[in-house]
Amino acid sequence: MKYADFYSDSTNNPEEFWKQQAENIHWHSKPKTILSKDDNDYPVWFHDGQLNVCYLALDKHIEDGFGDQTAIIYDSPVTQTVKKYSYNEVKSEVARLAGGMQSLGLKKGDTAVIYMPMIPQAVFAMLACARIGVTHSVVFGGFAPHELAIRIDDCKPRAIITASSGIEVDRLIAYKPLVDEAIELAEHKPKKVIVLNRKLGARIPFKKYDVDYDALVYGSEEAACVPVESTHPLYVLYTSGTTGKPKGIVRDTGGYATALKYSMKYIYGVHPDEVFWAASDVGWVVGHSYIVYGPLINRNATVVFEGKPIRTPDASTFWRVIAEHRVSVMFTAPTAIRAIKKEDPNGEFIKQYDLSCLRTQFLAGERCDVATLEWYREHIPVPAIDHWWQTESGWPMIANMMGVEYLPIKPGSAGKAVAGYDIRIFGENGQELGPNEEGYVVIKLPLPPGTLMTIWNDIERFKAGYLKKFDGYYFSGDGGFKDDEGYIYITGRVDDVINVAGHRLSTAEMEEIVASHPSIAECAVVGIEDELKGQIPLALAVIKSGDAIEHFQLQHEVVHLVREQIGAVASLKDVVIVNRLPKTRSGKILRKLLRQIVDGVEYQIPSTIDDEAIIDEMIEVFEKSKIGSFK
């Protein structure tokens, strides 16, 4: 199959294209209307169809004779646990939890918050909600009570499902006290809190609203799947980094199920029966789409991994999991690969494992630098595919479609537009730009199935944020360009473009160059205020383990690299060596926070930060280096 033909079919006749894709999932009532519009004139897919996603993920496979096959592989190096669950076993757990939830009064149309670590019960809870038509909102485990309270007030859950604790490498995080504090802070009070006791020693203060998870499950009858409308909200997912009023992305049911089934086959190229591993967390969109729903709908064993790429116990962990569970296709963030590269620059751990099962490595979550792609390709002879999507899209928008036609990889590019997405590059006034002209990345409406329906309880914010900038187009918030072969390059959020003496320069492009230095494991480039030029770039670099390069030598060489490849106009003069970079728990570097700190402006530490102690470290580094406002 040729990509060009497949793509043109999807954009020239989207209704027929997606009608055919919808045939690949089971509907309780097949949709007669493929594409229509809602009350706000926004495109809607399959509005008169009925289905149940839990049925697609579990019951359908059991009815087809695959009940004894492995559905979930739980691998937890932090608790030294490996456990496999068949489809029959998962269905039993999920159906009884769903029955228990019904006995507590939860029903179709209600909402529930799930606040759990990376354990199988988190997946069971999501599927149990889907089974009975309860809209779930998974909040990343360990979020501060204030942020959890904001989300409770926004989605108003009837119940919260949590666990006694999570584990972060070498420390226990007691979840129950955090949940209790969040409920105290919130105006909305959930009726019940279902608590799984992991028996790891965490404190579990008892409240009147508490229900024991195990007692509920094992004392309940199995609940049947409740068919829901295609447009029924499967979940609300709040975008990371939210402060103040949260932004809850609403996902439908029928369009999402259709898109996930399609993506597993045509983007990831995964066959039923194979093992798929997305090394992420159920609290993020990757976890929703490619730890839980996508693989299970496609009948792939999915790996639920409770650990880190390093320190659990070392940088060999990913390769052990791949080899031990015979993973065919993996998905992780470039940050994870960079962390491994830093600890094991020569790939010695890789040589210890048989990775012949691995066919493809996908990378997303942030832009992947060329140096990381090249390191991976040097040590593991499988395609390392960068691809691009957002919480809002729910599934990839730009990729090398491995199930259609393998196209040459261009380092620095996320690939070509995925079939179904009509992606354009616009200038400031809405004019479409030509090859290699950088502008705004936009997508012509209708977006394909499975993308965001709206923002929970805030249609005006939805319109203002995504639809008003360019009429008839979805505004991604990212900048980028297409080359003359249709490959798309994402240069970062539009506010990551800095203005140096009237020249608009991409910090992403500079990061690419800085990261190519052989001593650098990871870097970030941010624009900081300058009296003369408005803004100038600052490079922060993490050095590879064991590398003894001197600061003055590194700075000289990096400045020369940038000057050589961009020109003196880039004005990069300062390179600061740091032990680590501030990141969200999902691995995204907090560039805006870095910019605010070094500029000496008021900043707020986001709840999504991986470790708040790093802020003090950064301030100390800036003070010693006399950078920006610390001069």
Q: Where are the domains of the chain?
A: 3-307+387-480, 501-630
Averaged confidence pLDDT in the chain? 94
* Residue 569 banded pLDDT, cuts 50, 70, 90: confident
* Residue 399 banded pLDDT, cuts 50, 70, 90: very high
| Adjacent-strand bridge partners of 76 | 81
pLDDT digits (tens, 9 = 90+) for 308-355: 999 999 999 999 999 999 999 999 998 899 999 999 999 999 999 999
Transcribe 269-336 into DSSP letters.
Answer: -PPTTSEEEE-S-TTSHHHIIIIIIHHHHTT-EEEEE-S-SSSSSSTTHHHHHHHHHTEEEEEE-HHH
pLDDT digits (tens, 9 = 90+) for 272-313: 999 999 999 999 999 999 999 999 999 999 999 999 999 999
Q: Of 463-467, 492-496, 562-566, 588-592, where does the model show the most confidence?
A: 463-467
Architecture of domain 501-630: 2-Layer Sandwich (3.30)
Hey, how many other C-beta atoms are within 10 angstroms of the C-beta on 188?
Answer: 13
Identify the CATH class of 3-307+387-480. alpha beta
**What is the Cα Rg of the chain in Å?**
24
Phi, psi (rounded to 5 degrees) for 193: -125, 115
Is 320 within 8 Å of 351 (Cβ atoms)?
A: no
pLDDT digits (tens, 9 = 90+) for 85-109: 999 999 999 999 999 999 999 999 9
CA 331 distance to own-chain centroid: 10
Contacts of 206 (CB under 8 A, 6+ apart): none
Q: What's the half-sphere exposure (Cβ side, CA atoms, 13 Å) at 604? A: 7
Return the exposure string of 147-185: e unless at least 16 CB atoms fall within 10 Å of the residue's CB, then b: bbbbbbbbbbbbbbbbbbbbbbeeebebbbbbbbebbee
Judged against a pLDDT cut of 50, whether residue 124 lies above it is answered with yes
Contacts of 171 (CB under 8 A, 6+ apart): none
What sign results for the dihedral spanned by CA atoms 177, 178, 181, 187?
A: negative
* Residue 504 banded pLDDT, cuts 50, 70, 90: low
Phi, psi (rounded to 5 degrees) for 583: -140, 160
pTM: 0.90
In the numeric block, which tokens belong to residue 44? 């809607």
**Residue 244's pLDDT is what?**
44
The residue with greater pLDDT, 115 or 1, is 115
